[in-house]
Amino acid sequence: MRIAFEEMKADRLLAARTEHGNVAPVLLARGDVPGELRTDVPYQMANILLRVVPYLGSDRVAVVARKCDEKAIAEMSKRGLLDPGKVSLIGLACDARQVSECRCSDPCPSKVHIGECVKAAPADKEVEDLLAKTVPERLEFWTAQFRKCNKCFGCTSNCPVCFCDECLLEEKTFTPEKGIPPGFAFHLIRSIHLADKCVECGECERACPADIPLLALRKMVNRDVKELFGFVAGDGETTSPLLTTLDGEPMEDDHDVC
């Protein structure tokens, strides 16, 4: 509260607090009664920020953000979805449990306001195990996983960097309306569309009612993108290799294609 409104001079604070025995995302204005603000924020605040931005007008907002939120916000501002000058970050360090849950390699925010940074996780065992399998084995594994999908779109609607104007997953050439589970295209399209944006926050995996290891899938694609293009999503400067000309020049406009 104090950091947001006094130090950062923000007009709004996006945080989490206790409501009705649960933890709720909350957008506060200067002077609002803060209630019981929480430091254990179970929400992906960057995703919620993206949803509230259209209603903020010219207000400046401070948001409680983990490192992955910080990266997601960088990807958003690079694509013109929000004005980085209007957003201040209240850095939240992930604790050891969270780091191990995400097998996170980069858990420490640029500036820490809440909590203390812990060590990054060693290599992701889930990914290593999968890569150790043969291709047919891997196909079998993913087929069995995808069979459980019930097309809730939780993986897209909770993802902080899933923001195409028209979602191909809702388009019938690739995902015809034939009930569930959706075909491979559903998951593959999503993988490719996030290849240059995914910040490995793990929210898709947590939102998945079918417990499909979506974070492992994301990490495997991200690894390929890094190997092929030397690109890692999450900083405010580097243009995605998918958005440059074939000669590596940044394209002029149209930065918000997906």
Partner 1 sequence: MSVKHVLTTCPYCGTGCNLFLAVADGRAVGVIPCKTDETSQGQLCIKGYNAHAFVHHPDRLTHPLMRKGEQLTKAGWDEALQKTVDEIKRLVAEHGPDSVMVLASAKCTNEENYIFQKLARAAIGTNNIDHCARLCHASTVAGLLQSFGSGAMTNTIPEFEDADCLLVTGSNTLEAHPLIGARMLKAMEKGAKVIVIDPRDTPLSRIATISMRQEPGTDVAWINGMINVIISEDLYDHEFVAERTTGFEELRELVKSYTPERVEEIAGVPRQHLIDAARTYAAADKAMIAYAMGITQHSNGTNLVRTLANLAMVTGNVGKESSGVNPLRGQCNVQGACDAGALPNLYPGYQSVEDAEVRAKFEKAWNGELQAHKGMTLTCAFNQALTGEVKGMVIFGENPMMSDPDIGHIEAAIQKLEFLAVIDIFPTETAKLADVILPAACYAEKDGTFTSTDRAIRVVRKAVDPPGEARPDWRIACELGRMLGNDGFAFDSPADIMNELAAVAPIYGGIDYERIDRENVRWPCPSKDHPGTKVLHTGSFKIGKGVFAIVEHTPPMEETDEDFPFILTTGRNLFHFHTGSMTRRSVKLQRESPEPYVEINSEDARQLDVLEGQSVRVSSRRGSITLAARVTDWIRPGTIFIPFHYAEAAANKLTNNALDPIAQIPEFKVCAASVEKA
The footprint of ligand SF4 (CB under 6 A) covers: 149-155, 159-162, 194, 198-204, 207-210, 212, 215, 218
CB of 204 to ligand SF4, least distance (A): 3
Q: Nearest CA to 232 among 43, 106, 87, 123?
A: 106
d(CA 244, CA 230): 14
| Residue 48, binding choice from ligand SF4, partner 1, none, Cβ under 5 to 8 Å by partner class | partner 1
Stretch that binds partner 1, among 1-9, 13-21, 68-76, 183-191 (CB under 8 A): 13-21
Instruction: Indicate which of ligand SF4, partner 1, none lies near residue 84 (CB less than 5 to 8 Å, by partner kind).
Output: none
DSSP 159-178: -TT---SS-GGGSTTTS-S-
Backbone φ and ψ for 205, nearest 5 degrees, come out as -65, -40
Q: Give min distance, CB of 59 to ligand SF4, in A.
A: 26
Could you give the CA distance from residue 46 to residue 201 in angstroms, rounded to a whole number? 10
Q: Which does 157 bind (CB under 5 to 8 A by kind): ligand SF4, partner 1, none?
A: partner 1
Q: At what angle do helices 214-229 and 184-193 cross, to 10 degrees?
A: 50
Residues that bind partner 1 (CB under 8 A): 19-27, 29, 42-43, 48, 51-52, 54-57, 144, 147-148, 150-154, 157-158, 170, 177-181, 206-211
